[in-house]
Amino acid sequence: MIEFIHQETGRYPRIAEQGTADFAMGVAVYVRERPYAVICPAAARVTAIRSRLAPLLLIAATERERRRIAAQAGPGQRIEVIGPVPAAMAEAAQPQHCVLTANQTLNRMMSLDRL
């Protein structure tokens, strides 16, 4: 996910430490200190802040989650599915200035950190 955003923007993102209500309980991703994406927003909370999320990329962990989010999001909302990557590749892609490691981000995306 970090490399995906880096390829799109030319910048490495900064990832918040936890989800917040401001981002439908998803984890905010910042590029140049501005919100760029939201990792795994709660579909049930998307409708209430649909207009605030409209310019952002929403990132889902699975196709099923993408469909749930899309059903609540506004028309044309960009939603990408980014699944797990091999640990060695994730660690190699991790820049030094991010808040979370790539493995921590993927664990958060897959809700493995909540088990």
Is residue 115 in some structural domain?
no
Cα dihedral sign, 23-24-28-30: negative
If phi > 0 it is left, if psi is from -120 to 50 it is alpha, else beta; for residue 10 that is: left
Counting the structural domains of the chain, the total is 1
Is residue 53 in some structural domain?
yes
pLDDT digits (tens, 9 = 90+) for 28-78: 999 999 999 999 999 999 999 999 999 999 999 899 999 999 999 999 999
Is residue 114 in some structural domain?
no
* Domain with 95 in it: 2-109
The structure tokens listed for 36 are 């760029």
Is residue 96 in some structural domain?
yes
pTM, two decimal places = 0.72
Is residue 97 in some structural domain?
yes
Is residue 64 in some structural domain?
yes
**How many residues appear in the chain?**
115
Highest average pLDDT, of 30-34, 79-83, 85-89, comes from: 30-34
C-alpha 107/C-alpha 46 separation (Å) is 21
